[in-house]
Amino acid sequence: MESKPSVQASRGNPWITSLLLPLGYGVFWLAGRNPELIERLYAERIYPPLSRFISWPARLLPWSLGELLLILILAGMGLTLVGLLRALAAGAPGFFTLLLRRVGGFVALAGLLYCSFVAFWGLNYLRPPIVNTLAWPPETPTTAELQSLCEELAQEVNTLRIDLPSDGNGVLLVDRRMVLERRNEGYALLHGSLAPVLPVMLHEPSRPKIAIFGSLMSRSLTYGMYIPWTGEALLNGSTPSPALAFSVCHEMAHQQGIAREDEANFIGYLACRQHPDPLFQYSGARAVLGEALVQLWSARPEAWKGIRASLGPGVLADEAAETAWLREHRSRFSRVQGRVYDGYLKIQGQRDGARSYGRVVDLLIAERRLRLAKQALPSKK
């Protein structure tokens, strides 16, 4: 008589290591009680060498190490599931013990990933806001300031767009390789002005890589993402050309420890503005103009209509192309992914969730207010 195969449970108790998940969250919660300590100890001293250490293996590879690790994890989970199904079909003794161990193993893996996320990068979410670090006065932006910002940005994008090349459809023509090769020039110039008060440009970030799962990123309406475990910035290869340079600079801000989305938008825009290539300047100004116009529409619809009417044909063609891309890839999956990401941001302390991207407008108005004040000062003789 043939006996049924038995299941040999692995040694050790993965449920003990699963305590890593609450441990990681506890550390994150406690660290959030003292943002100034996070800034002085973690952001300024620990994160710079740590980020260089975790990113060096990825620098050696032309493709994404983070995506490779994800593939290996998913393959391992798939093989584990197949093994469980085979054991269940064979009626092997000890199946439920094995099932509990495997579930405990998955929870332990989640705990390990979360703890390493917190240690490698996540604590940057707890840093004091940039406005505090820069000691900018916390004045509430006015509607008049919002309108003036939109008018200034609209004039800037119109001027920059005139001399930029277009394709046969009138849409911005971009040399994507050039964008990646010259990605650091804006940050190199920005470093000189911000380094005394803000640790930006801690090191030269690794080259952003085109994602293997670009089609999945398109379905989720994602232009780029940062992988904390490998220090890599990933780009969607089909990102609309007008948004490409700004997306690169945004993800590079994440590489340098700027975690909050509004602040990454702000630092990315400043890097684009400082860049010597008009393409970067245009991409950055165009991106933040879009965020500002969304707010102006709610505050002063008539002013919004006037600024929209002032945009040149090249700017409008770029907007139409990006809007068409978004409509083409919008789906139920993108809506679900958007809700998941919104929840993720809220867990990390960004109360506005995905809407926090638009808070860059407050930073832009504060920076513009100080810039205009300096211009108004009498020159010293």
3-state secondary structure of 96: helix
Cα(275)–Cα(56) distance, integer angstroms: 26
Domain borders along the chain are: 14-126, 131-372
Q: Cβ(177)–Cβ(31) under 8 Å?
A: no
Which token pair is 204? 């030269």
Return the pLDDT at 226.
93
Cα(49)–Cα(54) distance, integer angstroms: 9
At CA 193, angle to CA 189 and CA 198, rounded to 5? 110
> pTM for this one?
0.86
Return the pLDDT at 14.
56
Q: Where are the alpha helices (DSSP H) in 60-94?
A: 65-90
Q: Give how far Cα 231 sits from Cα of 35, 62, 117, Å.
A: 23, 14, 11
Q: pLDDT tens per residue, the chain (381 residues)?
A: 444 444 444 445 555 666 777 888 888 888 888 999 998 899 888 998 898 898 888 888 888 898 888 888 888 888 888 887 887 777 767 777 777 788 878 888 888 899 999 999 999 999 998 888 777 776 788 999 999 999 999 999 999 999 999 999 999 999 999 999 999 899 888 876 665 556 554 456 778 889 988 888 899 889 999 999 999 999 999 999 999 999 999 999 999 899 999 999 999 999 999 999 999 999 999 999 999 999 999 899 999 999 999 999 999 999 999 999 999 988 776 677 777 766 766 676 666 655 556 688 999 998 888 888 776 545 444
Which residues, 6+ apart, have CB-to-CB distance to 303 below 8 Å? 147, 150, 296
Query: What are the phi and psi torsion angles at 235 (to 5°)?
Result: -120, 140
How would DSSP label each residue in 166-196?
Answer: B-TTSPBP--HHHHHHTTTHHHHHHHHHHTT
Return the pLDDT at 380.
44
Return the pLDDT at 19.
78
Cα(253)–Cα(3) distance, integer angstroms: 61
CA 124 to the chain's CA centroid = 13
